[in-house]
Amino acid sequence: MSKKQMKLGLSMRYMGYHVGSWRHPDVPADGASLFQSFLEVAQTAERAKFDMLFLADGIGVRLDDKPKGSMCRSRHNVELEPLTLLSALAPLTRNIGLVATASTTYNEPYHIARKYGSLDQISGGRAAWNVVTSWSDQEAWNFSMSKQLDYDTRYERAHEFVEVVTGLWDSWDEDAFLLDKESGVFYDEKKMHVLDHVGKHFSVRGPLSVRRSPQGRPILVQAGVSEPGQQIAAEYCDIVFMAKNDLKSAQDYYSSVKDRLEHFGRKKSDLLMMLGLTPIVGRTREEAQEKYEQLEALIDPIVGLSMLYRSFGDLSHLPMDGPVPKPDLDKVGLKSSAQMYYDLAQKQGLTIRQLYKKIGMAQEHKTVVGTAADVVDEMESWFEQGAADGFNITPSLLPHGINDFVELVLPKLRRRGRFRDEYEGRTLRENLGLPVPASRYATTASADRRLAS
Subset of 244-283 contacting ligand FMN (CB under 6 A): 276
**Burial letters 41-66, b for 16+ CB under 10 A, else e:** bbebbbebbbbbbbbbbbbebebeeb
CB closer to ligand FMN, 132 vs 250: 132
Stretch of residues binding its own copies (CB under 8 A), selected from 42-50, 88-96, 236-244, 311-319: 88-96
Interface pick for its own copies out of 40, 122, 403, 416 (rule CB under 8 A): 122
Residue type, 297: A
Torsion angle of alpha carbons 416, 419, 425, 429, nearest 10°? 130
Q: Which does 444 bind (CB under 5 to 8 A by kind): its own copies, ligand FMN, none?
A: none
Compose the 38-67 pattern: x for residues touching ligand FMN by CB under 6 A, - for all others.
------------------xxx---------
Stretch of residues binding its own copies (CB under 8 A), selected from 81-89, 318-326, 407-415, 423-431: 81-89
Instruction: Please name every residue paired with 324 in a beta bridge, in sequence order, or none if there are none.
Output: none
Q: How far apart are the first and last CA of the chain?
A: 26
Stretch of residues binding its own copies (CB under 8 A), selected from 188-196, 319-327, 341-349, 396-404: 188-196
Q: Which does 223 bind (CB under 5 to 8 A by kind): its own copies, ligand FMN, none?
A: ligand FMN
Interface pick for its own copies out of 141, 227, 411, 448 (rule CB under 8 A): 141
* Size, binding site for its own copies by CB under 8 A: 77
If one asks whether residue 77 binds ligand FMN (CB under 6 A), the answer comes out as no
What distance in Å separates the CA atoms of residue 151 and residue 160, rounded to the nearest whole number? 15
CB closer to ligand FMN, 232 vs 298: 232
172: CB partners within 8 A, 6+ apart: 187, 191, 192, 193, 207, 208, 211, 212
116: CB partners within 8 A, 6+ apart: 83, 100, 102, 127, 128, 129, 165, 218
Subset of 281-310 contacting its own copies (CB under 8 A): 300, 303
Stretch of residues binding ligand FMN (CB under 6 A), selected from 220-228, 299-307, 375-383, 432-440: 220-228
What distance in Å separates the CA atoms of residue 367 and residue 383, rounded to the nearest whole number? 16
What distance in Å separates the CA atoms of residue 95 and residue 40, rounded to the nearest whole number? 15
Q: What is the DSSP letter of 351?
A: B
Parallel, antiparallel, or unpaired: how do β-strands 177-180 and 127-132 relate?
unpaired
CB closer to ligand FMN, 241 vs 382: 241
CB of 410 to ligand FMN, least distance (A): 22
What distance in Å separates the CA atoms of residue 176 and residue 66, rounded to the nearest whole number? 55
If one asks whether residue 262 binds its own copies (CB under 8 A), the answer comes out as no
- For binding to ligand FMN (CB under 6 A), which residues are involved? 56-58, 101, 103, 132-135, 223-226, 229, 241-243, 276, 334-336
